[in-house]
Amino acid sequence: MEHCDCIVIGGGVSGLVSAARLAVEGRSVRVLEASARLGGCIQSWRPEPDFWLELGAHTAYNSYAPLLEVLEDRGRLEDLLLREKVGYRFVDAQGRLQSPLARLNFLEAALSLPFGLFQAKAGRSVAQWFSGLCGQGNYRRLLAPAFAAVLSQSADDFPADWLFRKKPRLKKAPRKFTFTGGLQGLLEALAEGAPFRVQHCACVRAITRAGAGFRVRLDDDELSCAQLVLAVPVDVAVPLLADLYPEVSRRLARFPMAESEAMGVVLAAAKTRLPPLAGLIGVDDAFWSVVTRDPVPHDTWRGYTFHFRPGVLDRAGKLLRIAQVLGANQNDFLHVQEALNRLPALGVEHAVLADEVLALLAREPLALVGNYLNGLSIGDCAWRAAIEAKRLLTLKGVYP
């Protein structure tokens, strides 16, 4: 049975940052990825050789230092692409665009702000904290749909202190960036020539104890390791940990999942009436948001990813709605691609559960990383991965 110091299950941001942090310290690391691609919640669709469109996570910032530090170790920091500054607009059911400021009641905000600034974020939901900060009307008209567009689900119950958490910036990187081939290209760059091995199409069926470490069973193979990192969706972690760590598994089972249905379209630049935009925020519509390729403009094509609410429209209905919003004909769509995105649907109670889970594993050779322990963003995932990698590296009784 092949043995390595650490096995990382999952080849998204969390898994790759974990693997890189462990491998650079001399650990032998194997990354097991169930699919044929890297990325996890990052999925960059490439319908043309020089054109891509994000179907999942789409924006990265220089506050994502743990991710950028790994990229710098690969010598690829200079390959980051600067995103141009284009704004967001709200769009109503009739296709009319509206600026965010047009939805803000300044008097209500001025009356609420002095009192809202003194309320603690911890223990409050996004709806509670931001309604207190700027007024319930402003929250309902402006912030609720904007935050829902960010998360592709209602953000009302989301922990307030997990949204837009401030992080140190790596100032040598652009404030907002992407990568050639999209953000998935960035993760591919992390793995290229890396001091760890990536094994694709490796579906993990079971995890058992092997002495002080673990045995990982695949479809046609078994591996053993001293330490294990689970960088998988929370509902995938639940059955894998049911026998090994039942108290952890029971808590994770209380984390629900939310789905959004992405549909990306590419058309000639002249075939849409929309001005250059970073994205659109749906208001009482079938979609949460629209993400565009406009921040990285292309001479020939424009691209749009609509993140639809699940189960509202069929394929034909989605194509019709997209054409209406873009002011285009469906025959103008040169390429169409669909994807299903799954994210945790987090509430205030899940912040408490996450703390309990991390406390239970504080001295264990197992690390949980991902988008359900401290926030949904790429930066949150990278930050948690760096913290857990450091914990494993300093864990006593495993390595001299």
Q: Quick one: which of 355, 340, 15 has its CA closest to 159?
A: 355
Q: Quick one: which of 173, 170, 172, 150 has its CA closest to 162?
A: 150
DSSP tag of 59? -
> pLDDT at position 35, please?
95
Distance of CA 374 to the CA centre of its chain: 12
Q: Residue 93, Cβ neighbours under 10 Å: how many?
A: 13
DSSP string across 233-281: -HHHHHHHHTTT-HHHHHHHTT--EEEEEEEEEEEEGGG--PPS-SEEE
What is the length of the chain? 400
Three-state secondary-structure class, residue 108:
helix
Q: Quick one: which of 236, 229, 194 has its CA closest to 35?
A: 236
Three-state secondary-structure class, residue 54:
strand
pLDDT (tens place) for every residue of the chain, 400 residues total: 799 999 999 999 999 999 999 999 999 999 999 999 999 999 999 999 899 999 999 889 999 999 999 999 999 999 999 999 999 999 988 888 999 999 999 999 999 998 888 888 889 999 999 999 999 999 999 999 999 999 999 999 999 999 888 888 998 999 999 999 999 999 999 999 999 999 999 999 999 999 999 999 999 999 999 999 999 999 999 999 999 999 999 999 999 999 999 999 999 999 998 999 999 999 999 999 999 999 999 999 999 999 999 999 999 999 999 999 999 999 999 999 999 999 999 999 999 999 999 999 999 999 999 999 999 999 999 999 999 999 999 986 554 3
Q: How far apart are the first and last CA of the chain?
A: 23
> pLDDT at position 339, please?
97
Q: Quick one: which of 296, 300, 284, 290 has its CA closest to 326?
A: 290
Distance CA 218, CA 201 (A): 10
> pLDDT at position 400, please?
38
Structural domains present in the chain: 2-41+60-80+174-256+346-393 (3.50.50.60), 84-107+138-170+257-344 (3.30.519)
| Contact (Cβ atoms closer than 8 angstroms) between residue 109 and residue 134 | yes
